[in-house]
Amino acid sequence: MQKALILFRSEDIDVSAREFMSTYASYMQEVGIVGKEPNGHVVFPSKTAPVEEGYAEFFDEWVTLSEALEIHTAVSMDLYTDAWFARDPKYQTMTASGQLMPHQICPNREEFWEYGAEIVKELGAYPIDEILLFGVGFIRDEFCFCDRCRKEFAPLVDQEPARLTHAYLTENPDYHDKWHEWRTEKVLQGLRVLQSAADSLIGAE
Ligand SMILES: [Zn+2]
């Protein structure tokens, strides 16, 4: 049977972490808690990301207890869905017709990878076993057509950045393949930055 990891949000639990754990811990081998929400806020004290007030104590108690009880503990992070970071439109991902996605970051942004890496390092201060990342890729095939992505990708398919369209890519299977390869490489580059942040913590132990 496949194990299901249950992911909780602090705001959905209306008792203390201690009370919750004392009731359910014996049923749990592993458990997850949301650490960074789609609104960009985190539920633990942070010098990097905005903090969802009122959950720091809960989070601390939750991860401390689940470690003490030897429950595999995961913390989730929404990555590219980040309404707070995306308040600056220059980071927002864009459709081919120029429509910005107000809560969604373009995955081709080193600054954002570094930002995510700082959050990973902050999470590393807690006794957790795993960080689950959500929303790590481009949202759909039609993304991203922001200025930066156009400028980088268009020359690879012999096109002017301003004239690059999604149809131009889908009409030519080679170009479409290149689009996928290029995007995959961007996603991997971003993940490598987060991975090396996580590795640096393991090395520091
Ligand atoms: Zn982009």
Quote the ligand 1 centre to 132 CA distance (angstroms). Answer: 23
Q: What's the mean pLDDT in 127-134?
A: 94
What is the 82 CA–ligand 1 centroid distance (Å)? Answer: 15
Q: What's the CA-to-centroid distance between 147 and ligand 1, angstroms? A: 7
Task: Please write the tens of the pLDDT for every residue from 22-33.
Answer: 999 888 899 999
Whole-number Cα distances in Å, 21 to 40, 41, 42? 27, 24, 21
pLDDT on residue 134: 94
**145: CA distance to ligand 1 center in Å?**
5
User: Which pLDDT score is estimated for 27?
Assistant: 86
Q: Give the pLDDT mean for 65-76.
A: 95
Rounded Cα distance between 129 and 125, Å, is 11
31 CA from centroid of ligand 1 (Å): 34
The per-residue pLDDT for 6 is 87
For residue 143, the CA-to-ligand 1 centroid distance in Å is: 7
What is the whole-number distance in angstroms between the Cα of residue 146 and the centre of ligand 1? 4
Distance from Cα 134 to the centre of ligand 1, integer Å = 18
Is pLDDT of 202 > 90?
Answer: no
50 pLDDT more than 90: yes
> What pLDDT band is residue 204 in, cutting at 50, 70 and 90?
low
Q: Judge contact between 91 and 106, C-beta under 8 A.
A: yes
pLDDT-derived band at 96 (thresholds 50, 70, 90) equals: very high
> Ligand 1 centre from 53 Cα, in Å?
31
Tokens at residue 98, please? 């120029």
Q: How much distance in Å is there from the Cα of 71 to the middle of ligand 1?
A: 39
Å from CA of 190 to ligand 1 middle: 13
CA of 52 to the centre of ligand 1 (A): 28
The domains found in the chain, sorted by start residue, are 7-204 (3.20.20.80)
Task: Compute, in angstroms, the gap from residue 114 CA to the centroid of ligand 1.
Answer: 16
